[in-house]
């Protein structure tokens, strides 16, 4: 089992293609089943194991795991939902010489291994499988899903079973699939670990990857406040939101944060307040990123400011909150300077409509249509540009409090202004810092605490 940070997230079809490119399908199943067997053996600590096998290759992995456990002298029973139907599963089942019980009335065991369906699940589970599976998972003190819990849709993360039971551990085979990073599937999986199968990185090189901690360099010895990144924030009707963004930008490492507009001079003294007599005040070439949206309001003045910034095309932009409701996405593809959009689900719908597919698909479609980096915030946050996507599979659920989005915007703007990688890398770095700061804050914190926590989060890298 190895770490999954930065690794590929691969659809069922891409996984099958990688498997075919590898060629040695029997060898892959051997590695998968053995990897499962080794993990289960370590965790079972001698307790009886029940392996449930389905008719396809997921079931084949189960037979291999059961055979391994038996050969290691472990107490193991096998039950099946159906006879093996794929050639590989037939061959694996033939090597299991013990009894195979029917699923319906099989006795539960302390350790349950679910090898019923994996990436080949094609329709909702029938009650004749779902009911005994739920009973056995719930009766076990440790339930382990092979590749995926049987009942989750690989590419969308949807549940194809009612009252899906919760597992303690899911052993992803070869690579993570979208369901491993998407809700509601993810919340049924428990801890997720990867069993490597030796598939080549080239064959797995999909366009979607798990987020990894960013590598952020310390300022150069000859750095100054502008070279570290100057963030300008356009103030609107609710100045507190803009202040949160400014503070977050500074605590994420920006050298200078200026609020442009009529804000009372509250907040850290380090934040600079400048009047916004006209938009020309934002022409300062030292500005590395402009934030527009937090607390902006949706009046005509706000709309005009946004349109002017987009048309001017002089600075990288981070567009959030109210500005997303005022945005005409058709104006974006012509820009040369990078744009990062940071919508939550409601804002995403306001800009792009409902879309189709998973949040990964929808974020990627939006990025392709606009040329912008789209940070689609939610239970799983997806950061996409035209060519690829990075997923952050959720952070501390206590982040769902007012102002945390403004903090994220500031963190992303700091990364963009400080030129920490390409725009998608800068956006991902901001998402990571924000989520990690949220983790450090624990429970019932407020957005101000989150902004404060960015200092030590940044220091941890």
Ligand X SMILES: NC(=O)C1=CN([C@@H]2O[C@H](COP(=O)(O)OP(=O)(O)OC[C@H]3O[C@@H](n4cnc5c(N)ncnc54)[C@H](OP(=O)(O)O)[C@@H]3O)[C@@H](O)[C@H]2O)[C@@H](O)CC1
Q: Which residues bind ligand X (CB under 6 A)?
A: 15-16, 18-19, 28-29, 32, 54-61, 85-86, 117-123, 125-126, 146-147, 173-174, 197
**Residues 27-56: x/- map of binding to K ion (CB under 5 A)?**
------------------------------
Strand partners, 12: none
Q: Is 151 annotated as a binding residue?
A: no
Task: Compare residues 87 and 299 and give the one whose CB is closer to ligand X.
Answer: 87
- Of residues 66 through 125, those in contact with K ion by CB under 5 A are 114
Task: Provide the pairing of β-strand 142-146 with 272-274.
Answer: unpaired
Under 8 Å between Cβ of 103 and 55: no
Quote the least distance from Cβ 89 to K ion, whole Å: 13
E-strand ranges in 280-398 read 287-292, 317-319, 339-341, 373-376, 381-384, 389-392
Residue 146 interacting with K ion (CB under 5 A): yes
Task: Compare residues 80 and 411 and give the one whose CB is closer to ligand X.
Answer: 80
Report how far residue 55's alpha carbon sits from residue 37's, in angstroms, rounded to the nearest whole number. Answer: 19
Task: Compare residues 67 and 245 and give the one whose CB is closer to K ion.
Answer: 67
Q: In whole angstroms, how far apart are CA 333 and each of 35, 305, 311?
A: 47, 19, 11
Vertex 321: Cα angle to 270 and 184 (nearest 5):
115
Quote the least distance from Cβ 386 to ligand X, whole Å: 28
Quote the least distance from Cβ 441 to ligand X, whole Å: 37
Task: Provide the pairing of β-strand 381-384 with 389-392.
Answer: antiparallel
Nearest Cα residue to 142 out of 234, 251, 49? 49
**Torsion angle of C-alpha atoms 48, 46, 61, 89, degrees rounded to 10:** -50
> Reading across the β-sheet that carries 256-260, which strands appear in turn?
208-210, 389-392, 381-384, 373-376, 339-341, 317-319, 287-292, 230-234, 256-260, 272-274
Task: Compare residues 62 and 261 and give the one whose CB is closer to ligand X.
Answer: 62
Task: Compare residues 169 and 429 and give the one whose CB is closer to K ion.
Answer: 169
Quote the least distance from Cβ 122 to K ion, whole Å: 14
Task: Compare residues 114 and 322 and give the one whose CB is closer to K ion.
Answer: 114
How many C-beta atoms lie closer than 10 Å to residue 257's C-beta?
31
Report how far residue 15's alpha carbon sits from residue 20's, in angstroms, rounded to the nearest whole number. Answer: 9
Q: Using only C-alpha atoms, what is the Rg of the chain? A: 25
Residue 403 binds: one of ligand X, K ion, none (C-beta under 5 to 8 A by kind): none
Q: Which stretch binds K ion (CB under 5 A): 99-107, 142-150, 271-279, 337-345?
A: 142-150
Q: Is 404 annotated as a binding residue?
A: no
Residue 114 binds: one of ligand X, K ion, none (C-beta under 5 to 8 A by kind): K ion
Residue 55 binds: one of K ion, ligand X, none (C-beta under 5 to 8 A by kind): ligand X
Quote the least distance from Cβ 118 to K ion, whole Å: 5
Vertex 262: Cα angle to 258 and 265 (nearest 5):
65
Residue 60 binds: one of K ion, ligand X, none (C-beta under 5 to 8 A by kind): ligand X
Vertex 305: Cα angle to 300 and 309 (nearest 5):
150
Quote the least distance from Cβ 80 to ligand X, whole Å: 12
Q: Is 392 annotated as a binding residue?
A: no
Residues 119, 125, 130, 134, CA torsion sign: positive
Q: What are phi and psi of 286, to 5 degrees?
A: -75, -15
Quote the least distance from Cβ 71 to ligand X, whole Å: 18
With CB under 5 A as the rule, give the number of residues binding K ion: 4
Q: What is the token pair recorded at 433? A: 């810092």
Task: Compare residues 177 and 228 and give the one whose CB is closer to ligand X.
Answer: 177
Residue 186 binds: one of ligand X, K ion, none (C-beta under 5 to 8 A by kind): none
Q: Is 422 annotated as a binding residue?
A: no
Task: Compare residues 150 and 404 and give the one whose CB is closer to K ion.
Answer: 150
Quote the least distance from Cβ 407 to K ion, whole Å: 38
User: Residues annotated as binding site for (6S)-NADPHX?
Assistant: 57-61, 118-124, 147, 241, 295, 344, 406
Contact positions vs K ion (CB under 5 A): 114, 145-146, 150
**Annotation: binding site for K(+):** 58, 114, 150
């Amino acid at each position: 089992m190895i770490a999954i940070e930065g690794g590929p997230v691969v659809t069922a079809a891409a996984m099958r293609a990688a498997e075919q490119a590898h060629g040695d399908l029997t060898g892959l199943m051997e590695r998968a089943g053995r990897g499962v067997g080794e993990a289960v053996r370590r965790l079972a600590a001698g307790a009886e194991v029940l392996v449930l096998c389905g008719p396809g290759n997921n079931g084949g992995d189960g037979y291999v795991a059961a055979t391994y456990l038996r050969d290691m002298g472990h107490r193991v029973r096998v039950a099946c939902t159906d006879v093996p139907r794929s050639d590989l599963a037939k061959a694996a089942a033939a090597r299991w010489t013990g009894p195979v019980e029917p699923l319906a009335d099989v006795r539960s065991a302390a350790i349950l291994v679910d090898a019923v369906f994996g990436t080949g699940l094609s329709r909702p589970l029938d009650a004749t499988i779902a009911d005994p599976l739920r009973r056995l998972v719930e009766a076990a003190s440790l339930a382990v899903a092979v590749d995926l819990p049987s009942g989750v849709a690989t590419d969308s993360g949807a549940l194809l079973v009612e009252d899906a039971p919760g597992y303690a551990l899911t052993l992803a085979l070869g690579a993570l699939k979208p369901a491993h990073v998407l809700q509601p599937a993810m919340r049924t999986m428990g801890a997720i670990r990867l069993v490597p199968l030796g598939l080549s990185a080239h064959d797995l090189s999909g366009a979607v990857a798990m987020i990894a901690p960013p590598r952020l360099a310390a300022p150069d010895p000859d750095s100054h406040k502008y070279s570290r990144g100057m963030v300008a924030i356009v103030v609107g009707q609710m100045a507190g939101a803009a202040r949160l963004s400014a503070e977050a930008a500074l605590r994420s490492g920006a050298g200078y944060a200026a609020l442009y507009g009529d804000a009372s001079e509250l907040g850290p003294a380090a934040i600079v307040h400048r009047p916004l007599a006209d938009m020309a005040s934002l022409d300062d070439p030292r500005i590395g990123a402009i934030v527009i949206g937090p607390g902006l309001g949706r009046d005509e003045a706000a709309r005009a400011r946004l349109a002017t910034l987009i048309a001017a095309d002089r600075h990288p932009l981070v567009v959030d909150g109210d500005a997303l409701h005022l945005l005409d996405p058709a104006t974006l593809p012509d820009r040369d300077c990078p744009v990062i959009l940071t919508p939550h689900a409601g804002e995403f719908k306001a800009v792009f409509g409902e879309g189709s597919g998973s949040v990964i698909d929808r974020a990627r479609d939006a990025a392709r249509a606009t040329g912008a980096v789209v940070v689609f915030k939610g239970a799983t946050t997806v950061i996409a540009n035209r060519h690829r996507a990075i997923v952050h599979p959720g952070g501390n659920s206590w982040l769902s409090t007012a102002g945390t989005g403004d903090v994220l915007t500031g963190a992303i703007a700091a990364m963009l202004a400080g030129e920490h990688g390409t725009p998608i890398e800068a956006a991902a770095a901001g998402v990571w810092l924000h989520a990690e700061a949220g983790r450090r804050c624990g429970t019932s914190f407020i957005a101000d605490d989150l902004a404060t926590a960015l200092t030590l989060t940044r220091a941890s890298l």
